[in-house]
Amino acid sequence: MAVPVSQMYTVAKYVVTQKLKGVKRYPLVLMLEPLFRCNLACAGCGKIQYPDHVLDKRLTPEQCWAAAEECGAPIVAIPGGEPLIHPEIGRIVEGLVAQKRYIYVCTNAILLERKLKDFAPSKYLTFSVHMDGLKREHDLAVCRDGVYDVAVRAIKEALNRGHRVTTNTTLFDDANPDRVRQFFDEMMALGVEGMMISPGYSYQKAPDQQHFLKKAKTRELFSKILTSPKRAWKFNQSPLFLDFLMGIKEYQCTPWGNPTYNVFGWQKPCYLLQEGYTKTFRELMEATEWHKYGTSKNEKCAECMVHCGYEASAVEDTFGTLSGFARTVKITLLPTAR
């Protein structure tokens, strides 16, 4: 199993508790962006196009810890920007680990080898390394030669030091299913705990607007990739979300599942759309007009199948329906049964 039992238990307990309390909307993963500055300029990224004085702003460790407490989600993903640029990222993670949250530091790994000394291995800490394919595809996606090799070296070193390491992969419409399958083989051979995959989202501000996947093509691509999965492949995400990407399941978006906090505040309504900010998490949950977002409700959401909207829907299916729970158990225990 790609996700450790203790983490699965923590998430399951949290979700069941929310359900027993009758909470209709609850967060699953806090997307914590401590800064927008990055050391790459990837063509598919819409997160870093800001003036320098905005890119220079950073959340303090105290702001990060308070956001996690306020939100209460059992999992915290730390993207950005490149979080390892933040001079206090070690302290930020240490404080979140002390809160016993499961942390995913989402990094391009350029600085990882140098920064590993700032982190103590922990079951609560995972480095989620951005890898968009084999060497040729990855270096093209990040618009710089040599980054794939640097990331592979850093993954090996992090694993050597006893860290949990996963990969996160965004696929665009030019992805070659056979090459992606080869890429999965290569990542698993490195010894990573699991992989995360998602189609890209057409950020309004991303340089690359032509290569984002539309829904039909997403299902076709992911079906080709994930049908007859190899026994060695492990995915660090809900099996039902992968079903959704393949067109086996239909879900509505759960935009409050992955709330986003950054230097502007709590982002309305989700990680991908920027329609305004609130000062508090409570205000985000209460003031956002959730009915305006999701499939068939908003043109900006029409073609989106991204994990930050639908992974929480898949988890809700697991714990909200008997059939969802049974299928999750089946695919978890027998990944090749899909």
Partner 1 sequence: MTDSKTPSIHSGSPQGHVVRPTCDAELREAIELAFDYRGDVTIERKSGESILCFVFNRSAEGSPAWLEVFPSDGVGAVKIPYTDVAAIAFTGEDTASGKSWEAWHAKKESERQAESDRVEAEARARGHL
- Interacting residues toward partner 1 by CB under 8 A: 37, 39-41, 43, 46, 49-51, 53-54, 57, 82, 85, 110-111, 143-145, 204-205, 207-211, 264-265, 276-277
- For residue 276, the minimal CB distance to partner 1 (Å) is 6
- For residue 90, the minimal CB distance to partner 1 (Å) is 16
- For residue 49, the minimal CB distance to partner 1 (Å) is 4
In this structure, what token pair is assigned to residue 235?
Answer: 């995915």
Contact (Cβ atoms closer than 8 angstroms) between residue 74 and residue 11: yes
Helices (H), 103-214: 112-115, 135-141, 147-160, 177-190
Closest CA to 44 of 135, 133, 141: 141
Contact (Cβ atoms closer than 8 angstroms) between residue 214 and residue 23: no
Beta-strand (E) ranges in 194-304?
194-199, 260-262, 265-269, 274-278
Q: Considering the complex, state which of residue 145 and residue 286 has its C-beta at the smaller distance from partner 1.
A: 145
SS3 assignment, position 155:
helix
Closest CA to 32 of 118, 128, 119, 113: 128
Residue tagged 């032509």 (tokens)? 210
- For residue 25, the minimal CB distance to partner 1 (Å) is 21
- For residue 82, the minimal CB distance to partner 1 (Å) is 7
Give the span between the Cα atoms of 115 and 246, in whole angstroms: 37
Q: Considering the complex, state which of residue 55 and residue 159 has its C-beta at the smaller distance from partner 1.
A: 55
Burial code (b: 16+ CB inside 10 Å, e: under 16) for 296-327 equals eebebbebbbbbbbbbbbbbbbbbeeeebeeb
Q: Considering the complex, state which of residue 45 and residue 187 has its C-beta at the smaller distance from partner 1.
A: 45
Residue tagged 């992805």 (tokens)? 175
Q: Considering the complex, state which of residue 150 and residue 248 has its C-beta at the smaller distance from partner 1.
A: 150
Q: Considering the complex, state which of residue 17 and residue 39 has its C-beta at the smaller distance from partner 1.
A: 39
- For residue 304, the minimal CB distance to partner 1 (Å) is 19
- For residue 46, the minimal CB distance to partner 1 (Å) is 8
Q: Considering the complex, state which of residue 40 and residue 159 has its C-beta at the smaller distance from partner 1.
A: 40
Measure the N-to-C terminal CA separation of the chain; round to a whole number of Å.
Answer: 15
Q: Considering the complex, state which of residue 193 and residue 303 has its C-beta at the smaller distance from partner 1.
A: 303
